[in-house]
């Protein structure tokens, strides 16, 4: 059981690190938005799964799962809103230097 918690925590941390790397390295707003909203959601699910396994089946575990479900729905929604807002104000997506489509 403890090994499972450590594994879940490691997986969650891995995806959070991927999200942070995406925020730093990617060239353009849209690519960063794409990277963060996906990796963040998955990392969050793993970390919350670790917490739920650790505190055992109880009302609090249901609450933690509810937090997970809410953030699982909230992050893509806000990413969509931000992406649409950027597109509407005319933020051009990044093109490779060769200009090939």
CB of 32 to other proteins, least distance (A): 6
Task: Please answer whether residues 67 and 48 qualify as being in contact, where contact means their C-beta atoms are separated by less than 8 angstroms.
Answer: yes
Helices 2-25 and 29-55 cross at an angle (nearest 10°) of 170
**Six token digits for residue 79:** 């990413």
Q: Please give the residues from 16 up to 35 whose contact with other proteins meets the rule CB under 8 A.
A: 16-17, 19-20, 23-24, 29, 32-33
Of residues 31, 38, 42, 71, which one binds other proteins by CB under 8 A?
71
Of residues 42, 49, 84, 97, which one binds other proteins by CB under 8 A?
84
> Is residue 77 at the binding interface for other proteins, with CB under 8 A as the rule?
yes
How far is it, in rounded angstroms, from Cα 15 to Cα 28?
20
């Amino acid at each position: 059981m403890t090994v499972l918690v450590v594994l879940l925590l490691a997986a969650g941390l891995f995806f959070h690190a991927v999200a942070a790397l995406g925020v730093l390295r990617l060239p353009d707003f849209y690519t960063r938005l794409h990277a963060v909203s996906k990796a963040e959601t998955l990392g969050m699910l793993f970390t919350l799964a670790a917490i739920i396994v650790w505190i055992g089946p109880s009302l609090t575990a249901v609450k933690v799962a509810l937090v997970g479900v809410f953030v699982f729905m909230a992050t893509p929604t806000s990413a969509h809103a931000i992406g649409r807002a950027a597109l509407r104000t005319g933020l051009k997506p990044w093109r490779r230097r060769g200009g090939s489509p």
